[in-house]
Amino acid sequence: MKNRIVVIVLLFLSVTAISQNKKFSIDVNYPLSLNAYEFQKINGIIDASFKYRFKETNAMKLGASYTFDLLNEKDPFNNEVLDRKYSFHHLDVFSEFKLNNAEKLHPFVGIGYSMLFSEYEYFYSQNQFTEIKTEKYNAGGLNFNLGLSYDISPKFFIQSYFHYVRIYRESPITNKMSGINYNQIKLGAGFRF
């Protein structure tokens, strides 16, 4: 375990030493669910991103990112479903825009592909015998995000953004694909290196 920690620290130090113009960033956010019928009672646990900026012009920076969300749902009115866990994985391309009059503000927009991994536990009753069962499903779709970051220092920033996800899932009853919208507001902070 200690060797892994040492390797990870050395990796980050070497990347920091190589990247003088801060092409990389990591950020951690708290996701707040806004709506979407299946995702109404979701509580955000954490959201984290790793971003790489590969092109810079006078007006913007272009990049790619990987983001994951961990979410949890408990329904106090449904005694059959015990717990639902959701894990979203997003691969995006994004643009950060430069504002001449406000150099610390950076509006950004991104689009990409999302994968959802879901797992839920529920009570299953049959002939007066009850057991706890677990079901899993995966789904994919598109996502779009729009936000604003503010530089506290050259390395540290805070941000807020809207994240829209459209997941397509096959219905277990009709075997037809249906779309599910999921909207979030994310609030967080990050570090550039």
Q: What digits encode the pLDDT tens for the residues 95-147?
A: 999 998 999 999 999 999 999 998 877 666 777 777 777 778 889 999 999 99
Phi, psi of 12 (to 5 degrees): -65, -40
Q: What is the pTM of this model?
A: 0.78
Chain-centre distance for alpha carbon 55 = 23
Mean pLDDT estimate for the chain: 82
Rounded to whole angstroms, what are the CA distances from 48 to 2, 56, 86? Answer: 24, 23, 14
Q: Where do the domains of the chain lie, and which CATH numbers do they carry?
A: 21-192 (2.40.160.20)
3-state secondary structure of 9: helix
Tokens of residue 36, six digits:
């979407």
Q: Which residue type does 75 have?
A: D
Contact 39, 184 (CB under 8 A): no
Cα distance between residue 76 and residue 89, in whole Å: 27
